[in-house]
Amino acid sequence: MREKIIDILKDNKESFISGQEISDRLKVSRTAVWKYISKLKEDGYIIQSVSRKGYRLLQSPDILEPNLIDEELNTEYIGRNIIHYSSVDSTNMEAKKIALEVEEGTTIISEEQLKGKGRLGRNWTSPKGKGIWMSIILKPDISPTEASKVTQIGAASVSKAIEEIGIKNKIKWPNDIVIKGKKTCGILTEMSGEINRVNYIVVGIGINVNLEEGDFPEDLREVGTSLRIEKKQVIDRVNLVSNVINNFEYLYKDFINTRSIKKSIDICKESSALLHKRVRVIKGDNIEEAVAIDINDDGHLIVKYDDGNIKEIISGEISI
Ligand code: BTN
């Protein structure tokens, strides 16, 4: 209903539309219309209300409204059901609560997260209106051992989407997007499954879009950045999130149809921050130096040690 009211207000930007007309068109009471309009005002929509004339939309806030995103999507099912929140603890947590009941591709987006989760139990700073904090629910018919491939699809989708808005970036295997060495996006993939089948996968994507330096906790300012900081201009979040979703479906469908993530791996290799560089492979307290030489078809990093030994890294922390 909220979205329908926004659509009507947008279609009538040049003139006033009366509460009665909105209520007739949407077949709801005038009190209901008034409540929706009040909520929109609370959320930052600037709506002029004049008695006997009605309402006129003067300005829309920078919100990731599902209907705005929908207009820019070319997907079949990813992002076609968007659940949008002003604030949640974590979109991944919300996604996991509803994953079994909703259709595949359902996407949770929140303007802020109060307990955003990062990998390895870390926190993820998610200030209001400044980023893209989203989780995509997937139900692929694959074995749980393949679930991590979806992370590569996520990384490739985000990297391409950022490139599409004119910002060069690199993918730091397995799931970080970096600009000039500083992290601008992280991906947290979580799965529920049994021994040989996946119930659902939640791909949580956090992109630092319009954060300013002061939005980062002090200890992250050296290692984290945002698209706004790098491009020196405010970025259109609706356009960016739509690009991410469009790219994601293209690459995900290719994976489901071909059973291979070659298309995503090709993007991850082309834009890799690690390939052909000396890296440190960190496993707990153990740190080993090697050269990153490839990313294989399963999305695993191949490293070569100085003694000539070659090893496949499935997960873990890598630093340059
Ligand atoms: C990382 O540590 O690099 C992964 C960060 C993932 C953050 C995203 S933001 C949306 C989704 N919800 C969460 O709580 N985390 C992920």
- Give pLDDT tens digits for 14-69: 999 999 999 999 999 999 999 999 999 988 899 999 999 999 999 888 899 998 99
With cut-offs at 50, 70 and 90, classify the pLDDT of residue 283: confident
The topology (CATH level 3) of 66-270 is BirA Bifunctional Protein; domain 2 (3.30.930)
90 CB under 6 A from ligand 1? yes
Contact 198, 210 (CB under 8 A): no
Q: Which value, to the nearest 10 degrees, does the dihedral of the CA atoms of residues 51, 55, 59, 60 take?
A: 140
- Nearest CA owner, ligand 1 atom 9: 206
- Atom number of ligand 1 nearest to Cα 134: 10
Query: Six-digit token pair at 136?
Result: 């995509």
Which segments of the chain belong to CATH 2.30.30.100? Answer: 278-319
Site to substitute for ligand 1 among 85, 90, 117, most atoms within 8 A of C-beta: 117
Contact 217, 224 (CB under 8 A): no
Whole-number Å distance, alpha carbon 157 to ligand 1 midpoint, is: 15
Query: Which residue reads 């601008």 in tokens?
Result: 184
Number of CB atoms found within 10 A of residue 151's CB: 23
Burial of 223 (0-12, 13-18, 19+ CB in 10 A): exposed
Which segments of the chain belong to CATH 1.10.10.10? Answer: 2-59
ipTM for the whole complex: 0.99
Whole-number Å distance, alpha carbon 114 to ligand 1 midpoint, is: 12
Residues 6 or more apart whose CB falls under 8 angstroms from that of 301 comprise: 173, 174, 274, 292, 294, 295, 312, 313, 318
User: What would the pLDDT profile of 84-119 be if each residue is shown by its tens digit?
Assistant: 999 999 999 999 999 999 999 999 999 999 999 999
Please state, in angstroms and as integers, the Cα–Cα distance from residue 225 to each residue in 103, 177, 230, following that order: 34, 10, 7
For the cut 80, the answer to whether the pLDDT of residue 181 exceeds it is yes
For the chain, what percent of residues have pLDDT higher than 90? 89
What local confidence, expressed as pLDDT, does residue 3 receive?
A: 87
- Atom number of ligand 1 nearest to Cα 126: 9
What local confidence, expressed as pLDDT, does residue 316 receive?
A: 74
What local confidence, expressed as pLDDT, does residue 315 receive?
A: 81
What local confidence, expressed as pLDDT, does residue 76 receive?
A: 98
CATH 2.30.30.100 fits 278-319, yes or no: yes
Q: Which among 69, 91, 90, 65 is positioned nearest to 78, based on CA atoms?
A: 69
As a whole number of Å, the CA-based R_g of the chain is 22
What local confidence, expressed as pLDDT, does residue 88 receive?
A: 98
**DSSP letter, residue 247:** H
Instruction: Tell me the whole-structure pTM to 2 decimals.
Output: 0.91
Give mean pLDDT, residues 131-160.
96
Q: Which value, to the nearest 10 degrees, does the dihedral of the CA atoms of residues 61, 62, 63, 64 take?
A: 140
Q: Which value, to the nearest 10 degrees, does the dihedral of the CA atoms of residues 202, 208, 210, 215 take?
A: 120
Whole-number Å distance, alpha carbon 133 to ligand 1 midpoint, is: 7
Backbone angles phi, psi at 195, to 5 degrees: -50, -50
- Nearest CA owner, ligand 1 atom 7: 206
- Weakest mean pLDDT among 35-44, 202-211, 246-255, 264-273: 35-44
CATH 1.10.10.10 fits 2-59, yes or no: yes
- Atom number of ligand 1 nearest to Cα 120: 2
